[in-house]
Amino acid sequence: MQHKNFYTNALKSSFYQTKFANENPMSWDNLPVTTKEELREVEPLDLLGTDFSQVATYHETSGTTGTPTPSWYSHNDVEKEAETIIRSELNLNEQDLVLTRLPFALAIPGFIMYWACQKTGAGHLAADKLLQITPDIRVIELMKRTEPTILCCLPSEAEKLYEVSRQAGAENPSPKLRALVLAGELISPARKAHFERLWGVPVYGLFGSTETGGLYTTCENGNYHMDREDVIIEIVNEHHEPLGEDKKGYCLISTKREGMPLVKYSNQDIVERKQSSSCGCGNSHPVLMHYGRRSDEIHYQGQTISLYELQEMVYTLTYVPVRWQVNVYKDRYEFVYQIVGDKREATRATIEEELQAKSDIPFQARTEELIDEKTLLDKPAWSKHSFINKYE
């Protein structure tokens, strides 16, 4: 069985020893799926697939939708995580300085970029997204002072930082900037093109999760090529039956990570496998199309609209909002948006008309300040505790 090594590796954790106790290792297709609920319910140490002396880091999901999901990484895993970035077309090297605007508390993407910098000799500047010491305007100031070559952040953060730099009169805060590396959110082709228009540099996406680690970095065309021997991606229907190429289905991920091996992990992403010829970048491995989570799908009169398709609509609007969201009610679909700067002339009727023309969904649009523009340039007071105060 070609997948036997994944099965054998998984048995190093007590979780899979129990889960696979009565399973036939020679029947890969019949092995049970691993669910997020299982990972939430099990003790974190039961998922550990290596000796504790080999643990490099521990991470968890945010827990916004339930109990956080744990994830262990060994020292050997760290090397492989770094390679996810290093072997990409980003060509990270010792001449680069990467400014990482991602959370470092518990999250994994920022660590992956840091590990890649360490291995290639690139410089690294951490500007944690969640720390009071690095508000948005300070990130722009850091970019002006240090001139990083790569900005690594959430896609929505790249949108906001651009607006901050515009308001600060520094639309090009780092003249040496050569690329954006974006992680943590879906990036459709239209959204990628939007970022490239804003920042004037190529955009690379990182596909993965806290549980799986970084899996793929996009090529120059924005596609994820399934070119790793230590990762298996299966695309199945709702009954976990395999689907062929050019068919959308649910993603099952198997990894040979030492820290926390996974077999047939269902992350509820909607994906599709396409031939390499659909890309044209020269990579001969199949392309993995990512359409977002099942929970993000919108249903209207028999239509199913994925987050990918929704992004394609929004980021091809005449006026692209700096922030937006869709509220789905029993009797209506509401598109909430925020237009800034010289694009304020966009009208609700225009946006409704364009969205309906793209999807047939009768969106009701309304504007709302999803980002407090007045605070974008603020620097909240922050200081260490003072043990000695002197008064005159």
Q: Give Cα separations from 144 to 81, 162, 165, 173, 174 (angstroms).
A: 30, 13, 10, 5, 5
Q: What is the pLDDT of residue 67?
A: 86
Residue of 261, 226, 190, 215 whose CA lies nearest to 6: 261
**Do the beta carbons of residue 261 and residue 16 sit within 8 Å?**
yes
Q: Is the pLDDT of residue 373 over 90?
A: no
Rounded alpha-carbon distances, angstroms, from residue 208 to 45, 185, 192, 269: 22, 10, 17, 11
CA distance 149 to 344: 31
Q: Cite the residue boundaries of each domain of the chain with CATH code 3.40.50.12780.
A: 4-295
Distance separating alpha carbons of residues 78 and 57, to the nearest angstrom: 9
Buried b (16+ CB within 10 A) or exposed e, 155-166: bebbbbbbbbbb
Q: Using the structure block, give the residue that is written with the tokens 């889960």.
A: 19
- Amino acid identity for residue 118 in this structure: Q
Q: What is the pLDDT averaged over residues 69-85? A: 97
Per the CB < 8 A criterion, the answer to whether 183 and 206 are in contact is yes
Residue 281, CA distances (Å) to 61, 159, 276 in order: 33, 27, 9
Categorize the per-residue pLDDT at 344 as very low, low, confident or very high, splitting at 50, 70 and 90. Answer: low
Architecture of domain 4-295: 3-Layer(aba) Sandwich (3.40)
- Give the pLDDT confidence of 350-369 residue by residue, as tens digits: 899 999 999 889 999 999 99
Which tens digits make up the pLDDT trace of 241-281?
Answer: 999 889 999 999 999 999 999 999 999 999 999 998 889 89
pLDDT tens-place string over residues 147-171: 999 999 999 999 999 999 999 998 7
Q: What is the pLDDT of residue 386?
A: 73
- State if pTM tops 0.85: yes
pLDDT tops 90 at residue 337: yes
- Residue with the bigger pLDDT between 204 and 359: it is 204
* Residue 89 CB partners (closer than 8 Å, separation 6+): 204, 217, 219, 220, 281
Q: What is the mean pLDDT of residues 320-341?
A: 92
389 φ/ψ angles, rounded to the nearest 5 degrees: -115, 135
Q: Which residues pair with 366 in a beta bridge?
A: 336
**Token digits of residue 177:** 């900037």
pLDDT at 191 over 60: yes
Answer yes or no: are the C-beta atoms of 39 and 47 closer than 8 Å: yes
User: Containing H/E element for 151?
Assistant: strand 150-153
String of DSSP letters for 219-269:
-TTS-EE---TTEEEEEE-TT--B--TT--EEEEEEE--SSS-EEEEEEEE
DSSP letters, 19-63, are HTTT--TT-GGGSPPEEHHHHHHS-GGGG--S-GGGEEEEEE---
Binned at pLDDT 50, 70 and 90, residue 65 comes out as low
Q: Which residue has the higher pLDDT, 241 or 341?
A: 241
Nearest to 162 by CA among 184, 182, 144, 136: 136
Rounded distance between C-alpha atoms, residue 195 and residue 147, angstroms: 19
